[in-house]
Every structure is written in C-alpha cells, then in structure tokens.
Amino acid sequence: MMEVNREDYEALKDDLFDGRLHSSTSKKQFFKDGLLIPSMILVLLLWGTIVLLKVVPILTAQEIRDHGRLGSHRNFYNQNGGKALNSRHTKDGSLKISFENVRNNTFKPKLQSLQWLRVLDFETNDRGLFMTVSNDTYMVKSVHDKEYCQILYQGKDITIHGTAYKIDSLVASPDLKRLLIRTNSVANWRHSYFGTYYIYEIEDSEFYKISDNIAVAQWSPNSIDISFVQDNDLYIYSTETHSISKKITKDGSENIFNGKPDWVYEEEVLESDTALWWSPNGKFIAFFKTLEDKVKEIVIPYYVQNEINHTNGNDLYPEMRSIKYPKAGTSNPEVDVWVYSLEEDRSYPVNINKEHRSNPLLITELFWVNENTFVTKVSDRSSDVLTVLTVDAITQDVNTARNDPAEESWWEITHDTKVVPKNPSKGRDTDGYIDIIPVDGYNHLVYYKSYQDSEPIILTTGNWEVTSDAISFDQENDRLYFIATKKSSVERHLYYIHLSKPGKVHAVTDTDMDGVFSVSFSPGNRFVLLTYRGPDIPYQKIIDLRSKQKDHHTRGNIIGETLYYLEKNDELRHNLLRYSVPEKSFDELYLGMDDNGQDIIVNSFEILPNDFNPELRNHYPVFFFAYGGPNSQQVIKTFSVGFNEVIASQLNAIVVCVDGRGTGFKGKKFRSIVRDNLGDYEARDQISAASIYGGKSYVNAEKISLFGWSYGGYLTLKTLEKDAGEHFKYGISVAPVTDWSLYDSIYTERYMHTPQENIDGYDNSNVANVKNIGKCKRLLIMHGSGDDNVHVQNTMIVLDKFNSNNVANYDMMIFPDSSHAIKYHNANRIVYDKMLDWTRQAFNGDFETYN
C-alpha cells in the first residue's frame, strides 16, 4: 500500500459529566438551591485534590515531555481514569497511531528477499545458494552450509577511468564467474529502466562496458552470452570477446519494439520490462516484436520538471511526453513471437497474428518446456477464449494444443505455469506443465502430461482456490507445492500434493493458526524462504523441506526443518508495546439476497478506534475504504499499521473495508457477475454495508464516508452516484477512472468487452449522474497531472459534468507531474495529510453549511 504519515492534532472529545448529569433538567435542579453551592464547592475542592494526587504519580517522563512540548491546551483530563485524552494518548496512557510514527517506519516490519542463484548443477545438487549484500559486499552464501561464502564484489560503486558509478543492479552469471552491473539508471515506466551496463570479470577484477541507454539485459544459460535491447533493437554481447557478436534485429524504432514490451504490455500483460526468453540450452531466443504504428498517442504535459529561466526564456513551456496508449475499442499493438537461432544466425516469425492483423490477439505468456520447444498462451482482445500453442524452434512447426472458452467469465492474465520435465522412472514419458484453470467454479491445479494435450489431469478440487503466488515442483520427491485459500479466502497457506496422487492435499504451514504466508523456493525446490505476513507480527525463516528432522516447536510450518530465522522483527514487537493499535477484526457480512434469491455474503474487516465504547449512542463516524476491482482483494489477514489505523486513532472513527461482488478468491460466480457492467454490483454492496453500519446504535449515520484510489476512486464516485446521499455523506476519490472508454484496452476489455460490442454497458458504468453525487454533503477529488496510467483527463471530464450540472459540493487538488502513485515533490505526504484533515473537517460537521 501507499505510505502514510504525519503527526496530527485531534483532541478526543469526551463528556465531562457522567450519564446521570447529561440531562439539562437534572443539572438545573442541582444548581437551583443556592444553599447547595458552598457545600458543592467544598466537595469539588476535596474531590479535585484526590484526583490530582492520583494523577501525578502515574505520569511518565515521556508524558511530561509531551506536555511541555505540545502545550497544556493539548491535554484534557478524564473523570474516570485521570489520563490525558488527546491525539497522542489513549485513556490508559498508551501512545496512539499517528502519521509521525507511521512515516518513521515504527510499524514497518523488516522483510528480506533472497536472490536465489540458478547455478549450473542446481537440479542435482541444490545447496540453496543465494546472493546477498552485507557492508557493501556482494557475496554468495548457502542456506545449507552457513560457513560457505564466495565474495563476488566489494563496494557500492564501480570505478571506471577514475569516475565512480553507483551500482543500481547486479546479477551473477549462472557459473558465478561474471557480474552484469547496471549504473546511471533512469526510470521509464512502472517496471522498466534505462541504464549503462558493464561486465565484471571476477577472476581478473576487470570491467568491460557493454553500452549506454540499454533497456533490457539478460544472461544466457551458457554464462557467456548476454542479450540486450538498445533503441528497441535486440543484440547479443559475448563475454568471450567482450564485444557485440550479433545484432539480431535492425527495424527497432519508436513504433517497433524488439525484446521489450510497449507501455500496455509492460503494464497489463507481462508486468515486466522484458519480452525475451532464452531456451534452456542457450541456443535460441524467443522474443516479442511489437508494432505500434496504429496505436494512438496520449500526450502528457509536465509542468515542473525544470525551474523557469526568466533570463533566457528557457522552460517557459511544459515538457510534452507522448505515450502510445490504446484506449478501449481503439487499435491495439500488433505483437508476434519471433525465434532467433544462435547456431544458424537466423530469425523467423511464428506468425501468431498472421490472420488477425486487423484485430490482433493478445500474447499473454511464453515458457520453454524443453530445449527446443516453447508454449505460448494467446487470447482474443476481450479474453473470452484462451488458446495454447506449441512451437518447435527447429522445425518452426506451430500447433494448437487447446482452445478454452471462458464460459460467461474471462481469462485473467497469469504467469504461473510450471514445467514438469519428463522422467520415465517417475512415469513421466513426456514434458508437460502445471496450470491453473476453473474447476467447478474455483481456480485449481491441473496437469497436462504432455504440452500437446488438450485435456488435463485435475489435481485439486473444492470450494477454495489455488492462487498464482507460487507453484513449485520438487522432482526428487514428486511434490507440487502451492499457495491456496483452502482454510479461508482471507488467508494463504502453503500446501503440497504428490503429482502421482491427485486430490490428496497436505498442509505445510499450520492451518490451526490464522496466517498469510508467501514463499520463495530455491531453484532445486529443496529449500524455501517462508514469510509469515500476518495477522501477527511478520517473520521469515529458511526451511529444508527434505529434512527428516522436525521442529521442536511448531511456528508456521508443520513440515520441514527450520534451519534459521532470517527475520524475527523483535524490534517491531518491542516498539508496539508503547502503542495502542486499534483493534482490527475480520468477518463475513450478510448483505441480503441477490436478484436470484441467493445470499450475498462478502468478506470485510473493521478497525475500532481506541477506547471504543459500544454503549455510546449516535457517536462514531465510519470511514469506508474500498478498492473493489475485478479479481482483487483488500480483506486479507496481513499485518499492517498505516493510514487506516491513523484514521481510527486520530479521528475516533470506525474504519471498514468490504470486498464486494467482483473481487477475487471466492469463486468464479462471485467475481464474474460484474462482467460488462462495472460499477453496479460493487456500488450496491458498499451501500448495503453502509446501511448495516448506519443502523448500529453507536454509529452516527450522518458521518459515513467512503475513500478509494484508482479503481477505488472510481468505485467511490459510482457509489455516491447510486447512493444519492442516502447512506454515504462524504467521499474521497483519488486518481479515478470516470469513463471506461478512456482506460487502456487490455484491462478494460477483459471485463467490459469493447465499447463497440457493449455500448450500453459503457454508458451504465461511466460516472454520469453527477446530480446524485451532488446530494452527498461533500466530495474530495485528487489526481496527479502526470498520471500515465489513469490519465487526468478522467477527472477533468467529471469536473466538467459537475460544472454543467451546477454541482459545487466538492473540493479539488491536482498534483503537478505526479504519476498514479502521487509522489512527485513531496506529493505523497501532502495527499495523505489532505485526506486526514479533510475527513476531520467532514466528521466535525465543517461542511454542513455547504448544502
């Protein structure tokens, strides 16, 4: 999630009288008789003295310092406990959660990553080698042998001809003899960079420059060759001659990409900066060739990249940056797969799009199943039908293995396919692969024994789902490891099955305890970095899954031997002792029945403010947080202390998150209902949840708000539009889509088809009835002007609708040159400060006069 932070001032309001004196009549009666006044004064003096004596001994040194620094006007005393009630302390004296202690990482768990090394003998001798950095020293270590250490490089910089360059990226060759180093990095899009690359020969301690302005660089499995992309052309650099040995393509241009994705493929398809794949033996490269000549451009002005020079007139005009960006229904990039043979020094196209030039297919995944054959997944542009093709790199034969319709749903783009190599001794006579497909309405593991098979062996079933977080196959033990929601849709546990025994699922992590786990396997799948992410304080440890030893005390895993902890987060656990973190609980909400008479049950969590008192009446505001995009999930039992907890602590508010219909991990039917009609069911479910909370006796139904960012910003506007001020009185919408024809084609058409096919759906899904939004008390809308993902055009169009319909109950902030994350020039701090301050004003009733 986005970072939050800032110490804020919001003194808690508490009653000075207990319940018996709340009645104005009783207070008048008490003061009516003048004879009672002297007695009353005496009693109050005695009572005050006693209270003071009780209070003074329990003040801590920190509280005294806080009192002096903040000023006495920030401290109020409660009749019951004597403790300060303000934005810093709870009634028992514990510190509250604030932006100050969130932004200084007081509650941020330390989590490490391992760069596992896929060395040459990893399949037969998995030593669990990984690269790590300590005291600016890059070294290879082994999780199996703590004494093993191979130094690769010492220093955070490299020095070339007397000039030092910071190391931005370092990747070792598979034989650990050379390093590929990137410096002078310049960010491009979400995943991509340009930089200068060098080769470092470890034995000779020599540097060799490859070139500047390289977009992608990747080791061959042979540890000699490096493929790289420069100016959208694909090259091979040889470390034997330390020179460019081949220029594979010559047509790279602003409209033709080789080996590198364009904007939409990087963002929505590959989720990577790389569109090339070496064969296992290093004899072939499969790569994407992308033609963008038909893709229209979005031009984004950047206003504050440079200071204006008033003397010579430089930088008086905005810097205009153009991106090829296919909006819904417009021309997509035309992508095809090409194959290059190093031995024959020739390349050829697979011609996947030969018959689809006017309406290119999406090529969503590519993986090699053996030394000469790869599999690629393609779909139509609306992801209705998935086609799996096999390609022989030697014969150039292309065959269709299967065609699978989505059946009233869509195919999500995934990268979780796992190759299962042939092994006759294990009964595997052909190379195959593991995939995830819907089985009886839930995503499950299936096994295609041959990559040419059209019908799979079903490995798992049930009303739960296998996620795409990690799939790993241990060939030695015939174990297939995977993460799944078998226990609960808001948890993630590690399981395994024997490939030869489908259906029998074994838990690796302790399912008797709530948990969200993620994993990273060593290349030989013997060792695993197990990361526990919540709901308690996260920790990490290394496990030997093949060890016959068992842990003496179960913590996380019930299978495998814990070798050591990589991170325990003891410092975080100690820090939390000083704070009162608002209580967070998970539940399932019943939202009534759908149009077919079926129960609507959704996942939710709520965070209660400090010192929550359910006996209060019409008291607590409610702050709803939503994302709600198709197949997404926000309600999951991970550890976090951030913006939501700040809202609960500082504003004395209940925070609620509801994953309504359309979100993931509750089955195909639950998520697919939103197809072709985004914004309808999602908004209905937020309104139903608000109605439930508005009916609670301790909730102030006039102070219910909704906040969302990106798809959540869109959902905020659609919910306010549908609700028309009945339940949600306030809303915060950040970087919202407001018209789905403005968003990128690959994401949008997966859920909406094209506008040409579904014009009514687009009309209904857009933010249109702004007069209904005008019926809420107040709206805050914010956007970054440099957003290359959700263009600020979306916000400008809805603002124009506000103006045209005389809707004026909104506040607006634009963040110059900020991208979708809104971080440029301190913007991330400001955007969260604004949301907190604005919400405080809303809950204080400061906007009541606007309506």
Catalytically annotated residue among 225, 435, 787, 817: 787
Pairing of strands 620-626, 699-709: parallel
Taking alpha carbons only, the member of 412, 354, 333, 350 closest to residue 379 is: 412
Q: Assess whether pLDDT exceeds 80 at residue 718.
A: yes
* CA distances from residue 737 to 75, 717, 785, 787 in whole angstroms, order as listed: 43, 9, 14, 11
Q: Residue 484 carries which side chain, given as an amino acid letter? A: A
Least confident of 531-535, 591-595, 709-713: 591-595
The backbone region for 338, taken as left when phi is positive above 0, alpha when psi lies in -120 to 50, beta otherwise, is beta
Rounded distance, CA 96 to CA 647, Å?
11
Residue where one domain finishes, among candidates 80, 103, 126 = 103
Residues 259-288: tens digit of each pLDDT: 999 999 999 999 999 999 999 999 999 999
Min mean pLDDT across 30-34, 320-324, 529-533, 740-744 is at: 30-34
Spatial distance between the Cα atoms of 13 and 113, rounded to a whole number of angstroms: 45
CB atoms within 10 A of CB 570: 12
Q: Is residue 1 exposed (0-12), middle (13-18) or buried (19+ Cβ within 10 Å)? A: exposed
Average pLDDT, the chain: 87
The region of weakest confidence among 60-69, 83-92, 194-203, 690-699 is 60-69
Spatial CA neighbour of 624 closest among 719, 684, 690, 679 = 690
Q: Which of 542-546, 547-551, 613-617 has the lowest mean pLDDT?
A: 547-551
Final residue before a domain boundary, out of 82, 103, 124: 103
Q: Do strands 778-784 and 730-734 pair parallel, antiparallel, or not at all (unpaired)?
A: parallel
CA distance 194 to 199: 16
Total number of residues shown for the chain? 851
Task: Give the tens place of pLDDT for each residue, 215-267.
Answer: 999 999 999 999 999 999 999 999 999 999 999 999 999 999 999 999 999 99
Domain presence at residue 456: no
Chain segment 36-53, per-residue pLDDT in tens: 334 443 434 444 444 343
Longest CA span, the chain:
111
β-bridge partners, 139? 132, 151
Residue numbers of the domain that contains 778: 582-850
Provide the pLDDT confidence category of residue 86 given band limits of 50, 70 and 90.
low
Phi, psi angles (nearest 5°) of residue 779: -130, 140
Does the annotation mark 710 as catalytic? yes
Output the pLDDT for position 368. Answer: 96
Of the pLDDT bands very low, low, confident and very high (cuts 50, 70, 90), residue 316 is confident
Catalytic residue, from 87, 379, 710, 818: name it: 710
- pLDDT band at residue 121 using 50, 70 and 90 as cut-offs: low
Domain for residue 26, yes or no?
yes
In this prediction, residue 849 has a pLDDT band, given cuts at 50, 70 and 90, of low
Name the token pair of 746: 């690959």
pLDDT value of residue 311: 75
Q: Residue 254 domain-assigned?
A: no
Selecting among 493, 727, 783, 820, the annotated active-site residue is 820
**Which of 44, 76, 103 is the last residue before a domain boundary?**
103
Q: Is 245 left (phi over 0), alpha (psi -120 to 50) or beta?
A: alpha
| pLDDT above 50 for 68 | no
Structural domain includes residue 620: yes
Q: At residue 576, what are phi and psi to the nearest 5 degrees?
A: -65, -20
What residues have CB less than 8 Å from 310, skipping those under 6 apart?
none
* Residue 787 is among the residues annotated as catalytic for this protein: yes
- Condensed to tens digits (0 to 9), the pLDDT of residues 655-710 reads 999 999 999 999 999 999 999 999 999 999 999 999 999 999 999 999 999 999 99
Q: Which helix (H) or strand (E) holds 738?
A: none
Domain membership of residue 518 (yes or no) is no
Whichever domain contains 821, its CATH number is 3.40.50.1820
pLDDT 10s digits, 564-623: 999 999 999 999 999 999 999 999 999 999 988 999 999 999 999 999 999 999 999 999
Phi–psi pair at 265, nearest 5 degrees: -75, -35
Contact by Cβ (8 Å): 256, 333: no
Residue 536 clears pLDDT 70, i.e. is over it: yes
Place of tokens 């919910």: 719
Residues 387, 380: Cα–Cα separation, whole Å: 9
| DSSP code per residue over 618-636 | S-EEEEEEE---TT-----
Q: Is 649 among the residues known to form the active site?
A: no
Q: Tell me if 534 sits within 8 A of 518, measured CB to CB.
A: no
pLDDT band, very low/low/confident/very high, at 122 (cuts 50, 70, 90) = low
Would you state the pLDDT for residue 43?
39
Tell me the C-alpha distance between 460 and 473, whole Å. Answer: 15
pLDDT the model gives residue 13: 27
Query: Is there a domain that residue 406 lies in?
Result: no
The predicted-structure confidence for 753-762, as pLDDT tens digits, reads as follows: 999 999 999 9
Instruction: Quote the CA–CA distance of 632 and 387 in Å, as a whole number.
Output: 24
Tokens of 275: 């569109």
Count of domains in the chain?
Answer: 2
pLDDT of residue 126: 81
